[in-house]
Amino acid sequence: MIRRAPVFRWMTLSAGTQRTAIRVGELCQKATHWEFVYDANYLALGPLAWELDPTRIRTKQRSPYTVVGAVPHGVFCDVALSGWSLDALRKRRHELPGLLPGQGKDGEPWGWWERLIYAPADGFGALFVGEPDSKPPLGTVLIDQLLKVTKATLMPGHMQTSSGAMGGERPKLTAYRDEAGTGDAPVILKFALPSERADSVVAEATALSLASELGLRVPTHHVDLINDVPALSIARFDRGLGKSGLAYHCVSAATALELTPGTDRDDRRRSYVQLRSKLKQAGDALELYRRIVLNAAVGNSDDHPWNTSLRQTGLGSWELSPLYDVMPFFAHQPPTVMGMALRRGGERAATQENLVAAGLEIAGLKPEAAQAVVDEIFRHVRVHWRRVFNQHAAHLPTAVADDWAPVFEPSDQAP
């Protein structure tokens, strides 16, 4: 079977205009491989015809870009349904017009094709696969499913849900917040899993605020109460203000490193040193290194390459996107074992020795300068986390700072 679908990109072709879905090419799934070929009209845009990813799908090639196997090109994996959103929609697929039932006698998960075709047009970044008018109305289904996940009544009130669905295992929705005087601000609402502490969102907000205080690039965020359910509300860095505002094309670090879902955790490409080689913007290497140290200090070992991304700023120009998905783990035991290698040798444990050595390999810092970064970030987290946690938990009586002390200031954590 050969299946084909158009690929669109949200673009703003002139100042002051609304974003428009421009066809950039066609994606084709064949028996043994996937093909993507650019549309001639898109290439005719010249300097406005930006490439799809920083590594593989450039605009110089007119023949199809091919990848062998069951998994499509990384940039399409980035926009496919995944995690909680995928599971929620599969459970309700019989209620959605145009959706196919699960394949196989046991109701197997949708394949990559279905995950792309049924993904929303307002998902991660600026790309989507399939005609805009054929996308199913996902927003209502996701909200309804979220009610069951949280076991509470979720009434958006001042929120308007979009049709967006984001990846990740935790329940997550895109929405527009009506900020006075600023128009509709696109945000992501992120909830704790039923198996997690409800104040996990407070801990994540705390980590992000500490990062911001340390000068890292962090989206605006706060802890919100949707009725009685705590949620982390974080501004979307892939969108401008308003429902028709700018849409920024983004790719995961995994795509930049030519990794696909299912790649072995020990693959040598799952490396911050390798990712550093993809960073061309001034200051991004140091920013990446400081984020690594911050992750180690707050006990986030889920820093896999899909939790970092690059944002496109022009033809052939990519920057490290703002920080997101920094989740302190309640059962954290130091040293933090990172999801990506810190050094060329593949070391992942965030010991003081490895963190200092990573300062040279990633940011070009001499040992004394790297040690100063490590000392600064660990000290700031230990001294200020409780103040920040309590600020975010001001209206959440179930959030208990003392419970998180072993995570943010363990007695045996370096330095």
pLDDT tens for each residue of 233-252: 999 999 987 777 889 999 99
Domain of residue 383, residue span: 257-408
The mean pLDDT of 74-82, rounded to a whole number, is: 93
- Is the pTM above the cut of 0.95? no
Res. 1 pLDDT band, cuts 50 70 90:
confident
- Phi/psi of residue 161, nearest 5 degrees: -75, 145
Q: Of 172, 203, 235, which residue is a domain's last?
A: 235
Same domain, 92 and 154: no
CA–CA dist 235, 285 (Å, integer): 23
pLDDT of residue 23: 97
CA–CA dist 235, 85 (Å, integer): 19
Q: Is residue 246 part of a domain?
A: no
Same domain, 268 and 376: yes
Q: Is residue 148 part of a domain?
A: yes
Q: What percent of the chain has pLDDT over 90?
A: 61
Give the per-residue SS3 of 202-241: HHHHHHHHHHHHCCCCCCCEEEEEECCEEEEEEECCCECC
pLDDT of residue 170: 76
Q: What percent of the chain has pLDDT over 70?
A: 85
pLDDT of residue 109: 59
* Residues 6 or more apart whose Cβ sits within 8 Å of residue 162: 120, 122, 139, 174, 175, 176, 186, 243
The mean pLDDT of 251-267, rounded to a whole number, is: 90
Same domain, 180 and 320: no
HSE-CB of 155 using CA atoms within 13 angstroms = 4
CA–CA dist 25, 20 (Å, integer): 15
Q: Is residue 291 part of a domain?
A: yes
**Poorest-pLDDT segment among 10-14, 99-103, 117-121, 352-356:** 99-103
What CATH number is associated with residue 203? 3.30.200
* Residues 6 or more apart whose Cβ sits within 8 Å of residue 277: none
Same domain, 228 and 94: no
- Phi/psi of residue 393, nearest 5 degrees: -100, 15
Structural contact between residues 255 and 51, judged by C-beta atoms closer than 8 angstroms: no
The mean pLDDT of 259-283, rounded to a whole number, is: 91
The mean pLDDT of 79-105, rounded to a whole number, is: 68
Same domain, 7 and 62: yes
Q: Is residue 84 part of a domain?
A: yes
Same domain, 388 and 313: yes
pLDDT of residue 116: 94
Same domain, 127 and 147: no
* Number of domains present in the structure of the chain: 3
Instruction: Please provide the average confidence, as pLDDT, over all residues in the chain.
Output: 86
The mean pLDDT of 118-128, rounded to a whole number, is: 91
Same domain, 300 and 218: no
Q: Is residue 289 part of a domain?
A: yes
The pLDDT tens digits of the residues spanning 138-194 come to 666 666 666 665 554 343 444 444 445 566 667 787 877 766 555 678 889 898 877
pLDDT of residue 276: 96
Q: Is residue 414 part of a domain?
A: no
Res. 204 pLDDT band, cuts 50 70 90:
very high
Q: Tokens 């084909």 — which residue? A: 4
Distance from chain centroid for Cα 119: 15
Same domain, 404 and 303: yes
The mean pLDDT of 314-342, rounded to a whole number, is: 93
Q: Is residue 244 part of a domain?
A: no
Structural contact between residues 123 and 166, judged by C-beta atoms closer than 8 angstroms: yes
The mean pLDDT of 293-306, rounded to a whole number, is: 95
Same domain, 86 and 12: yes
The secondary structure of residue 341, as a DSSP letter, is: B
The secondary structure of residue 48, as a DSSP letter, is: G
Same domain, 90 and 47: yes
Same domain, 89 and 195: no
CA–CA dist 368, 365 (Å, integer): 8
The pLDDT tens digits of the residues spanning 336-390 come to 999 999 999 999 999 999 999 999 999 999 999 999 999 999 999 999 999 999 9
Q: Of 109, 131, 153, which residue is a domain's last?
A: 131
Structural contact between residues 324 and 234, judged by C-beta atoms closer than 8 angstroms: yes
Structural contact between residues 48 and 54, judged by C-beta atoms closer than 8 angstroms: no
Q: Is residue 75 part of a domain?
A: yes
The pLDDT tens digits of the residues spanning 21-43 come to 999 999 999 999 999 999 999 99
Task: Copy the structure tokens of residue 412.
Answer: 């045996």
Q: What is the CA radius of gyration of the chain?
A: 21
